[in-house]
Chains A and B, each alone.
Chain A
Amino acid sequence: MTTPVLQTRGLNKNFGSLVVARGIEIALPKGARYALIGPNGAGKTTLINLITGMTRPDAGQILLEGEDISTLAPAARVKRGLVRTFQINTLFPNLSALEAVTLAVCERRGEAGTWWRSLPSYGQAIEEAHRILTTLMLAGDCERPTRQLAYGQQRLLEIALALAAHPKVLLLDEPAAGVPKDESSELFKAVAGISSDITVLFIEHDMELVFRFATRLIVMVAGAILVEGTPAEIANDQRVRDVYLGQAHHG
């Protein structure tokens, strides 16, 4: 059996008496499309924070391609190919989309520490940034400052910045958060278009989108994994129906 690209072992995290992660064990094979679902407060975003190193776990390990990365700083994990996006836009308001993605490309290529050469001389990095923006339909507005972009475009830019880091594993924290329902499937088309070399784990509340785009589902409740399985298995699981789907009708 091949080693999973991303694996966690016994991740635990408490905030005081509140348990936000309890014995989290996941293993994502290469190219998988996983959805992480669960009621609000189940610890989904916390799990992404733990995996990316933005929150320190109390116990447990995170392995990327079989290597323990638990002690690496967040930036170093990104360098290894573990990349995330944010539920709330975490962008560079006064940089243009082109500048922002070029910055991310330069960081990946290890060129962003160079101060003696001017940015326009980095043709390859700029071309690559522009290609990424083109595939996400942002090329037409790439000169405008991020803060002037439409909200949906900003959500796409979240993904563009992550793709610029050449992820092996991409963790998408509610990519369509705040986007009107009729536009969110557009956004998920962009997610579906992500190269099949990249392993994707995404958080999403809209069950229709989850069942359409995920090949496997992980259900979290109260900081623990309740069940993992294919969409069909999850849909027929009585426990999931009880704790999650039952109350998600109005969500």
Chain B
Amino acid sequence: MSVTTAPALAAVDPREVLRAQVKWRWLETIFWLATLLPFLVAPTYLVLGSQIAITALFALSLDLIVGYCGLVSLGHAAFFGFGAYTAGLISKAGWGEPITGLLAAGCAAMVLGYLTSFIIVRITHFALIMVTLGMCLLLYEVANKAHSITGGDDGLQGVHMWPLLGHFQFDLYGTTAYGYAIVILFLSFLVLRRLVNSPFGLSLRGIRENPRRMPAIGSPMSNRIRTIYTISAAFAGLAGGLLAQTTEFVALDALSFQRSAEVLVMLVLGGAGRLYGGLIGAMIFMIARDQLADMNPQYWYFWLGLLLIAVIVFLPNGILGGCAELLARWRRKA
């Protein structure tokens, strides 16, 4: 091939280029160490903390398909709720061991995700939003009607968890719940971080960037989408299972449209397609709701609406995307 005068710019090692993109940063260590702070400085907020961790895991699962693959779902609560009911029902049936119960919740959601993924790969854009929304509404009404099993709109009562690892009782202050949720969140994060930095993760970004080109480089795109949709469903199910176990209750709103919409809002706020966006988004959303709703419960959506518009207009890549851009600009100057 014609090797004409390619300017020999400081010979870069291509592996190092890619390695630099995926290496663990000190900011990440600080972030995860900071998740332990609530135990010391805010023990009264551990219940809220566990809710945030659970929601963050849910947002993380959605980020896989929305942020990485570029497919918008408005029905992700279907998997969250399915996991929650699975975990709740297993406990109610007499098996209160948390970890196996949680894995069962993840597996159940994964199976549901796998089955529905065959519909998902056939549609895109607006139709996809509507179909995912439809599937979630459908599941909501099934759970509502199946009163004898799910408790309908009274919620699933009588969930009782055994102590975690045989030692840690689930207490009223949420100490065990928070520790449990944070560990599961962290382990899930590690798995998903590896996933998005793998060749598979790169192919997902390829689908997001240009679904027309993917077949032309020989990529079996439908398989990839089915796989990530199934994995995403599994992690949403884990989040739902965690909520059922730590609150020992499943409300019908685990499957609600509102839950699907809110998690999407969190992802947009934090910044989709960068894992931490979902985590930050969930934190901001949950803390803001807690604080603002204390002041004036009806008024909270006003502030949320304002925040959402401001972020979309001024930080189209979310809060984290905006931060990354600032950092890059600052580095270029320095």
- Let me know if B219 and A75 touch, CB within 8 A: yes
Task: Identify the closest chain B residue to A189 (Cβ).
Answer: B2
A236 at the interface (CB under 8 A from B): no
Chain B 88-132 interface mask (CB, 8 Å, partner A; 1/0): 000000000000000000000000000000000000000000000
Q: Which of B12-20, B165-173, B286-294 contacts A (4 or more CB under 8 A)?
A: B12-20
Q: Which of B71-79, B152-160, B192-200, B263-271 participates in binding chain A?
A: B192-200
Q: How far is the CA of A86 from the CA of B210 in the complex (A)?
A: 13
Q: Mark B176-217, 1 if CB is under 8 A from A, else 0.
A: 000000000000000000110111111101100110111111
B198 contact set on A, CB distance < 8 A = 114-119
Are A92 and B4 in contact, CB atoms less than 8 angstroms apart? no
* C-alpha gap A130/B16 in the complex (Å): 12
Q: Give the secondary structure class of B's interface.
A: helix
Q: Once the chains are docked, how many angstroms separate the CA of A189 from the CA of B22?
A: 36
Q: Is the CB of A192 within 8 A of B2?
A: yes
CA distance A134 to B200 in the complex (A): 25
Q: Mark B38-71, 1 if CB is under 8 A from A, else 0.
A: 0000000000000000000000000000000000
Q: Are B1 and A194 interface neighbours, CB within 8 A?
A: yes
With beta carbons under 8 angstroms apart, the residue of B14, B199, B201, B209 that contacts A92 is B209
Stretch from A18-26, A32-40, A105-113, A223-231 that touches the partner: A105-113
Name the one of B199, B203, B210, B219 contacting A91, with C-beta atoms under 8 angstroms. Answer: B210
A40 to B15, CA, bound (A): 44
Across the interface, do B205 and A119 meet the contact criterion of CB distance under 8 Å?
A: no
In the complex, what residues of A have CB within 8 A of residue B4's CB? 137, 189
Question: Which of the candidate stretches A58-66, A139-147, A208-216, A243-251 sits at the interface with the other chain?
Answer: A139-147
| Known contacts A98-B17, A106-B199; is-contact A134 B6 (Cβ 8 Å) | yes
B12 near A103 with CB under 8 A, answer no
Residues of B within 8 A of A129 (CB): 14
Measured CB to CB, the nearest residue on chain B to A164 is B217
Q: Does A193 contact B (CB under 8 A)?
A: yes
Q: How many Å lie between the Cα of A75 and that of B123 in the bound state?
A: 18
The tally of residues in A whose CB lies under 8 Å from a CB in B reads: 61
Residue among A103, A108, A129, A135 with the most chain B CB within 10 A? A103
Which of the residues B15, B195, B197, B217 comes within 8 Å of A161, measured between beta carbons?
Answer: B217
Residues of the A chain whose Cβ atoms lie less than 8 Å from the Cβ of B220: 75
Q: Which of A1-9, A77-85, A174-182, A199-207 contacts B (4 or more CB under 8 A)?
A: A77-85
Quick check: B206 and A92 within 8 Å, CB to CB? yes
> A119-B22, A122-B199, A126-B18 given as contacts; is B209 within 8 A of A93 (CB)?
yes
Cα A193 to Cα B3 with chains together (Å):
9
Cβ A127 vs Cβ B194 within 8 A? no
Taking A123-B15, A129-B14 as contacts, is the C-beta distance between A108 and B209 under 8 angstroms?
A: no
Interface residues of chain B, those whose CB is within 8 Å of chain A, are 1-4, 6-7, 9, 12, 14-15, 17-19, 22, 194-195, 197-203, 205-206, 209-210, 212-221, 223-224, 227, 231
Q: With contacts A120-B18, A127-B14, A193-B1 known, what are 13 further pairs, Cβ within 8 A?
A: A52-B216, A74-B215, A78-B215, A92-B205, A95-B206, A100-B206, A107-B217, A115-B231, A116-B198, A119-B22, A125-B199, A143-B12, A161-B216
